[in-house]
């Protein structure tokens, strides 16, 4: 696409976000789930935190996927499904060049996986598995058996200290022009500084830090 990532300004992003056209029914249900997330956390079933993707970051990701017609997604750290919901709703919008979108979601904490499945059913109905596949395992284990599949969109929300190691392992699986979005790069900058230095310095990436939500790093691979 003929646009420069580094020239994206926040006001432009806001305009684009409002043009992202998330289906109102899904948006309503999703915002309702955000409101209930505190209650879910208090149940004590999900460990220390749920850490849902900030809705502003979710809307940006939704727009990015639609605008670039991205169709092959990978998500590391799916939690109970907030980020998944933003990604899947974008992949479900009219397919790019007739190609149906698909997402592989990784989450290794099984109580969260169960809740993730409930949320997908609630938001997208029983047919959600046509678009998104949950792999209830760690990134490292999945990678050993992942075959040759390549991705044009990757979302990172696992342990921030692992971002760089995981990105390096994924390099052979990135399509030319693939986007990698990493969450919490402002809120947890000290844990992923090595990742930020890498994507900003390595010539294969064009990368920009966006001050929306908890801070997201948007990097394009060439």
Interaction site with ligand SAM (CB under 6 A) = 51-53, 76-83, 106-109, 112, 138-139, 157-159, 162
For ligand SAM, which is the closer residue by CB, 108 or 221? 108
The CB density around residue 128, as the number of other CB atoms within 10 Å, is 22
Q: Which is nearer to ligand SAM, 6 or 43 (CB)?
A: 43
> Is 109 or 191 the residue whose CB approaches ligand SAM more closely?
109
Shortest reach from residue 9's CB to ligand SAM, in Å: 25
Residue 187, φ and ψ in degrees, nearest 5: -60, -35
In whole angstroms, the minimum distance from the beta carbon of 173 to ligand SAM comes to 15
Least distance in Å: CB of 181 to ligand SAM? Answer: 11
Nearest distance, CB of residue 155 and ligand SAM, angstroms: 7
Task: Answer for the pair 149, 173: CB distance below 8 angstroms, yes or no.
Answer: yes
- The HSE-up count of residue 151 (CA atoms within 13 Å, CB side) is 25
Q: Which is nearer to ligand SAM, 152 or 157 (CB)?
A: 157
* Least spacing, CB of residue 146 vs ligand SAM, in Å: 13
The rounded distance, in Å, linking the Cα atoms of 198 and 193 is 8
Closest among 110, 115, 111, 114 to 45, alpha carbons compared = 111
Q: How many CA atoms lie within 13 A of 82 on its CB side?
A: 20
177: number of Cβ within 10 Å: 12
Which is nearer to ligand SAM, 96 or 109 (by Cβ)? 109
């Amino acid at each position: 696409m003929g646009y420069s990532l580094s020239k994206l300004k926040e006001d432009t992003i806001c305009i684009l976000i409002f043009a992202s056209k998330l289906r109102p029914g899904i948006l309503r249900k999703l915002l309702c789930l955000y409101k209930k997330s505190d209650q879910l956390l208090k149940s004590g079933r999900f460990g220390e935190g749920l850490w849902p993707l900030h809705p502003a970051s979710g809307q940006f990701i939704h727009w990015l996927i639609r605008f670039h017609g991205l169709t092959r997604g990978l998500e590391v750290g799916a939690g109970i499904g907030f980020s998944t919901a933003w990604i899947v709703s974008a992949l479900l919008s009219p397919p790019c060049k007739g190609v149906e979108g698909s997402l592989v979601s990784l989450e290794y904490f099984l109580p969260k996986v169960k809740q993730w499945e409930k949320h997908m059913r609630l938001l997208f109905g029983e047919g959600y598995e046509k678009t998104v596949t949950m792999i209830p395992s760690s990134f490292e284990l999945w990678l050993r058996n992942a075959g040759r599949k390549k991705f044009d969109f990757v979302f990172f929300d696992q342990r921030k200290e692992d971002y760089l190691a995981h990105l390096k392992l994924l390099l052979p699986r990135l399509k030319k022009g693939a986007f990698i979005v990493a969450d919490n790069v402002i809120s947890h900058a000290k844990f992923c500084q090595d990742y930020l230095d890498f994507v900003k310095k390595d010539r294969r990436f064009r990368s920009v830090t966006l001050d929306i939500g908890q801070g997201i790093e948007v990097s394009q691979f060439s």
